[in-house]
């Protein structure tokens, strides 16, 4: 991207990849680019719960949940709210079951119907 004229490259990585930052910066310098033009944002892990129980996920075992599956279960508005409600440098844990409820315990439901309470 840098050779195509982009002035800054922003990557978002999981916090477990922090050790690769110096390597990437060194690789950019080796290739003749200013490593200060590479900004890496580290995001903490996301834990999914269902009825208070954590989903056990493993890429090796093939046990994982696609983002599209979460959207199908709770909707894109709810997922967007959850990700934007916390800073990316804090651990995020949310219960899919809570986000499916149609009552005030679901923050997205509560926000969506704020206009009715005015």
Q: Are residues 96 and 75 in the same domain?
A: yes
What is the extent of the structural domain holding 68?
A: 45-117
DSSP label at residue 45: -
Long-range contacts of 67-73 (CB under 8 A, 24+ apart): 70/96, 73/100
Same domain, 87 and 110: yes
**Mean pLDDT in residue range 7-26:** 94
Is there a single domain that holds both residue 53 and residue 109?
yes
- For residue 115, the SS3 value is helix
Q: What is the pLDDT of residues 29-54, one digit of tens each?
A: 999 999 999 999 999 988 999 899 99
């Amino acid at each position: 991207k840098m050779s195509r004229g982009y002035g800054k490259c922003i990557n978002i990585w999981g916090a477990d990849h922090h050790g690769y930052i110096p390597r990437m910066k060194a690789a950019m310098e080796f290739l003749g680019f200013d490593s200060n033009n590479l900004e890496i944002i580290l995001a903490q892990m996301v834990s999914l719960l269902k009825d208070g129980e954590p989903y056990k996920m493993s890429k090796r075992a093939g046990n994982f949940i696609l983002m599209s599956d979460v959207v199908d279960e709770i909707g894109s508005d709810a997922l967007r709210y959850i990700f934007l409600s916390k800073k990316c440098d804090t651990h995020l844990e949310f219960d899919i079951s809570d986000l499916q409820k149609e009552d005030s315990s679901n923050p997205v439901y509560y926000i969506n119907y704020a206009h009715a309470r005015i």
